[in-house]
């Protein structure tokens, strides 16, 4: 049985946030916005991360990849 669109969005969002909070404590994160859409089989993930760290862009990119991987796992 295929996952619902809602399940896909939730899994992607949870995975992205999880990756960010593996790297940073909640108190370090000034702002985090994870936007996930899943429409007609197309997943779009955008992560905005505001922390005082030079690796923030890398962590945001890893969060996007974690979201994509979580969705891939749902369809396996």
Domain that holds residue 16: 5-74
pTM (2 decimals)?
0.95
Q: CB-based burial of residue 21 (10 Å sphere; 0-12 exposed, 13-18 middle, 19+ buried)?
A: middle
pLDDT above 90 (res 36) = yes
Average pLDDT of the chain is: 97
pLDDT above 90 (res 1) = no
Residues 6+ apart with CB under 8 A from 32: 17, 20, 47, 48, 49, 50
- Structural domains of the chain, count: 1
Confidence at residue 74, expressed as pLDDT on a 0 to 100 scale? 95
Distance between CA atoms of residues 52 and 40, nearest Å: 37
Report the CATH number that the domain containing residue 44 is assigned in CATH.
3.30.300.100
């Amino acid at each position: 049985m295929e996952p619902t669109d809602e399940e896909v969005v939730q899994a992607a969002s949870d995975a992205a946030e999880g990756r960010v909070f593996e790297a940073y404590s909640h108190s370090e994160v000034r702002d985090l916005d994870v936007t996930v859409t899943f429409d007609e089989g197309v997943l779009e993930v955008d992560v905005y991360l505001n922390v005082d760290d030079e690796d923030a862009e890398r962590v945001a990119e890893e969060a996007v990849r974690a979201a994509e991987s979580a969705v891939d796992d749902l369809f396996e």
